[in-house]
Amino acid sequence: MMTLVIFLALLNGCCISFCRVLNGRLSQDTSAFYASFWNHVVGFIFLSLVVYFSSTVPVKTIMDAPAIAWLGGVMGALFVALNSYVLSKVGATLTVILVITGQLLTGVVWDAISNGVELTPLLGILCILMGILVTKRGQDQKANIKG
C-alpha cells in the first residue's frame, strides 16, 4: 500500500510539473491570466464530472460548505496565474526551485507561529536562496561576457 502512495505522490509531482510547463507555454502565447482561466475551467469541468458520478455525498451538501472552504479555489487560481507568469520570465527549473523554497519558507514560518517551533530550518532555506542567487549571478555574468 505504501508503494502505491509513494508512486501516486511522484505521479502528482510529474503532473504538476507538466501542468506548469503547459501553462507557462500558454501564457507566453497569450497571458498568464488566460492560461490560469483555461486551467481552472477544464479542471472544474473534469472534477465536477468526477464528483457527480462517483460521490456518495449529495451535491447540496457540497454547496452548503462554509465560505472559507471556497478560498482554496481562489488561492489555486492565484497560484496558477502567478506561476504561469513567472515561468515565462525565468524558466521552468528556477520557477520550480523558487516555488518549493517558498513552500518550505511558509511551512517553517507557519510552524514557528502556530507551534512555537524554532526557526533553525530557516538556515537551510536561506542556503537554497543563496544558491539560487549565486547561480543567477553566474548566469548573468556569462551572458554579459558573451553579449
Check residue 117 and give its pLDDT. 65
For the record, the C-alpha cell of 79 comes out as: 497560484
Domain match, 85 and 101 both: no
Last residue of a domain, one of 90, 114, 129: 90
**Of 136, 133, 35, nearest to 85 (Cα)?**
35
Cα 138 vs. chain centroid, distance in angstroms? 26
Domain match, 80 and 13 both: yes
Check residue 55 and give its pLDDT. 67
Domain match, 86 and 121 both: no
Q: What is the total residue count of the chain? A: 147
Cα 143 vs. chain centroid, distance in angstroms? 29
Check residue 14 and give its pLDDT. 84
Q: How many domains does the chain have?
A: 2
State which residues form the domain around 143: 92-147
Domain match, 80 and 11 both: yes
Domain match, 56 and 2 both: yes
Domain match, 1 and 41 both: yes
Last residue of a domain, one of 90, 109, 124: 90
Last residue of a domain, one of 70, 90, 110: 90
Domain match, 79 and 98 both: no
Domain match, 61 and 41 both: yes
Check residue 15 and give its pLDDT. 84
Domain match, 83 and 98 both: no
Q: Which residues of the chain have pLDDT under 70?
A: 55, 117-119, 143, 146-147
Domain match, 48 and 120 both: no
Query: What is the rounded CA–CA span in Å between residue 95 and residue 84?
Result: 9
Domain match, 102 and 130 both: yes
Domain match, 116 and 80 both: no
pTM: 0.56
Residues 5-25 pLDDT 10s: 888 888 988 888 788 788 778
